[in-house]
Chains A and B, each alone.
Chain A
């Protein structure tokens, strides 16, 4: 078909290239059971598109005589069956990639084998595909594998299926046969997450309806296979989605250039955009988009670029740059679907290497919820996964990552697990959702769930409360490393104030974890969430007129700042207990520092996680130099006049709800 349109002059060649340059790219996967005729059909497509060279054709004639399974002159299947052993056995056993083009489009075929045990290859082939051709032998109709392959394709995010009813020549091109298979597939496919299904009656061997509509099927009014492939809409989702830019490399050729190389995996970025660097959360603006070919004014999905930022903030490989107002999830725990790819079964609790976008950490499968029977699509209880099984599980990471659900973003929602000893890729994972809302990371800036929510103010003013209790409401935030003395000092102060007639209560970070924060761990974002909840409680206590002493490690400056905003700057006093990590470690009786140093406790601020000492505290107590009594005296003496000063403040400005 393409021979007629081949260029014969340089000018025509130039035109050809100009057209060729503008082509887009469709990646599709082909799947079917053994002997459904997949290789034959692909060979036929390659021949039809003129993607076969003369010497390959010559070799094909020679091979057809040797290995061919058809008594004819040429067996198109031999064009695509690649490896020596497989060829001798006459079967395809791995994923192979083929290339061809038509005047409209360029195609990459991921050819996946039909063996029952090769779910893993099918998943591999489907991972990068936008469409799938599912083959059915017209004589056999839909098989268990047809369902399995369609399911795996949809699971891996392939939204467009083409059901190719093949070998129509062997059923005398009967419409009834085709319609029956079509009806059966139609009722099945409703259970899958797909957008579009095409049904075609074909003969790969004879070429019916492959490149052109066939006279043998006058009852079929639809397009040929090639026509369908040329017109399948391409996924635009990724470039219209939200900006996700996983940092691949930090570029520092000289002191005055610092850039971050990577590929925009979704969305669009421009200089001036306000961005956040996750999982840390620091914000800045994009300064420029640097490439070898000059600076860009914008870049969208699939562009490989280098970003420079306005501020010199700390950015590392594995971080994700996003628009500050459209963040993904950030966290260490989420639910995911796993396709198990190893002979060694999944071991819950075992540590695996984890790779997602450009980030790499370790992961455990905390527990398996269920396994999916790929033939019935039913959920089955399971405690492990074997080779080629698919299940849903809870994943817990060592360090937090930024991610989206795979349904929404195939790039930031995908991961692999790798065995730490054999280095085998043991699983492909697709993130479903964060474990629970509580862990969705950044709740500080979450918008209200509903626009209809109203605030009904209390009729009791804060002045009335002050008069009742005899003092102003305030929150005293005690921060410092584990072992700095926060809890000791906090409870001592609580007692002292209480005895003096104050309405006071103590919020202790550890204690909260037994109740309202019992679902939280110790990652940076879970610590952050714990403090956010404490800040909200402190605010309620203050609104109720009470004094609140809050003792928290609060390792990150950014999180402390946010907590202050929740409570209200005017009624918050921040006291920093400045004992050094060395002293805290020596004083520590609980053995936590040693455990952290041995690596048993991860994310331990000051040892295995960063601690940013405050520079803006209202009072600093050197708890490593002073005795506990002296600290208490100093704190008490410092606090009272400040509380007294708050009493005099104007009611209107201290009204909690306007704070």
Chain B
């Protein structure tokens, strides 16, 4: 009886295939959930940038109606933009009520390591790479979720989604576990860990489109506004606080600028821009034709810089 009825029904309409953005979203959610289930102590590396904002948003979706079952970890170089810290405390901690662990390399801070007197290599190592390792070891995190994307940079194109790190947090590009289907190898011995990159398959355009579509809050520095800047080595550097060392004859100038990427303010270049909405940013992105890391001074110091940093444990 029911069979006859079913047979008489019109054929099921053809399901439209899910759009690429929804597929990426679902893939990322799957990765977040796998991480939470497969590891004893995962952590979300939270850098306060736009990719971190997307990560946080996806994590909230993945575990709804629960809160993400892991803390956030912010490695504070002590030279972050002030607006980043404000965003972290006001939005993430207060409004969302999430736990954010903040870790600073006290030793480096006491020794006065800063981006003015030290080469970007030493500075990044002492104020970012070392404290990251310290924090991971101190808390015994066995999985660290990061916002890295494969399209960011050539050496990342071969990175796994679940990327194995040895007990010294080193990455060995020659000895990576093959990654088949979505069957991630999550097995580790004590002291070893996995870096997990849920945004691996996203492009910069995808990230912005998703921010727009989902109205994800981001640090206002991404939007153009009049800001006091000085020009150094072709980059516009924000005079964010009184620690900024101005050279002789350097005069801060107020200009409409925004940041394509966020890091330590003395070494993160702003771009002149009028884009004060996400749509405006996307428009610039489509026409600008400059890949986003260009604003990061630390990336240009030599060829394959990133790959070397990754082997040493930098994200």
Contact = CB atoms under 8 A, between A and B. Distances in A.
Q: Indicate, yes or no, whether A interacts with B.
A: yes
Interface of A: 6-10, 12-14, 16-17, 20-25, 53-56, 79-85, 87, 93-99, 101, 106, 108, 111, 120-121, 123-124, 127-128, 234, 236, 239-240, 248-249, 251, 253, 257, 259, 261-263, 268, 290-293, 300-304, 306, 317, 341, 353, 355-356, 358, 410-411, 414-416, 418, 423-425, 428
Which of A106, A127, A291, A304 gathers the greatest number of chain B CB atoms within 10 Å?
A: A304
B180 A414 contact: yes
Contacts of A124: 178-180
Contacts of B227: none
Nearest to B311: A84
B287 A8 contact: yes
B304 A84 contact: yes
Given A99-B150, A259-B65, 11 more contacts: A7-B283, A21-B213, A53-B290, A56-B291, A95-B178, A97-B201, A300-B18, A304-B25, A341-B178, A418-B185, A425-B178
Contacts of B213: 21
Contact of A55 (B36, B155, B294): B294
State the majority secondary structure of interface residues on A: mixed
Given A17-B282, A21-B209, A127 B158 contact: no
A514 to B, nearest CB: 39
Interface stretch (B56-64, B83-91, B247-255): B56-64
Nearest to A81: B154
A425 B151 contact: no
B62 A304 contact: yes
A23 B205 CA distance: 13
Contact of B280 (A10, A236, A418): A10
B289 A304 contact: no
18 contacts: A7-B287, A21-B209, A21-B213, A24-B17, A94-B173, A99-B203, A121-B178, A128-B181, A257-B65, A259-B65, A261-B62, A291-B64, A303-B18, A303-B26, A304-B30, A355-B183, A411-B181, A418-B185
B66 A253 contact: yes
Interface string B197-211: 000110101000100
A21 B37 contact: no
B158 A236 contact: no
B290 A99 contact: no
Interface in B146-170: 150-151, 154-155, 157-158
Contacts of A414: 180-181, 183
A53 B37 contact: no
Contact of A302 (B18, B183, B279, B283): B18
A227 B102 CA distance: 50
A6 B285 CA distance: 10
B301 interface: no
Contact of B157 (A14, A21, A98, A253): A98
A341 B121 CA distance: 37
B150 A300 contact: no
Given A124-B179, A292-B64, A20 B209 contact: yes
A43 to B, nearest CB: 11
B26 A415 contact: no
Interface string B62-85: 111110000000000000000000
Smallest CB-CB A-B distances: 10 pairs: A25-B20, A304-B29, A53-B291, A292-B64, A423-B187, A292-B61, A13-B283, A304-B26, A96-B157, A127-B180
A97 B283 CA distance: 26
B93 interface: no
Nearest to A355: B183
B307 A83 contact: yes
A82 B155 contact: yes
B179 A268 contact: no
A10 to B, nearest CB: 5
Nearest to B175: A424
Contact of A10 (B22, B174, B279, B304): B279
A506 to B, nearest CB: 42
Contact of B17 (A10, A20, A236): A236
Contacts of A239: 15, 17
A25 B18 CA distance: 9
Contact of B187 (A54, A358, A418): A418
B137 interface: no
Nearest to B161: A97
Nearest to B29: A304
Contacts of A261: 33, 62-63
B238 to A, nearest CB: 21
B201 A290 contact: no
Nearest to B208: A17
A1 to B, nearest CB: 14
Given A10-B283, A83-B155, A423-B187, A234 B178 contact: no
A263 to B, nearest CB: 5
B23 interface: yes
Contacts of A22: 19
Given A292-B64, A304-B29, A424-B177, A416 B18 contact: no
Contacts of B180: 123-124, 127-128, 414, 416, 425, 428
A14 B282 CA distance: 9
A321 B12 CA distance: 22
Nearest to B157: A96
B122 interface: no
Contacts of B303: 84
A24 B279 CA distance: 21
B28 to A, nearest CB: 8
Nearest to B186: A355
Nearest to A88: B304
Nearest to B293: A55
B15 A268 contact: yes
A414 B286 CA distance: 39
Given A99-B201, A423-B185, A263 B30 contact: yes
Contact of A249 (B33, B174, B185, B277): B33
B189 interface: yes
B21 interface: yes
A292 B32 CA distance: 14
A248 B34 contact: yes
A317 B33 CA distance: 11
B119 interface: no
A650 B287 CA distance: 89
A97 B150 contact: yes
B66 A13 contact: no
A13 B157 contact: no
B181 A127 contact: yes
Interface in B74-127: none
Contacts of B36: 249
Contacts of A25: 19-20, 23-24
A425 B185 contact: yes
A7 B30 CA distance: 34
A423 B189 contact: yes
B134 interface: no
B160 to A, nearest CB: 9
B178 A120 contact: yes
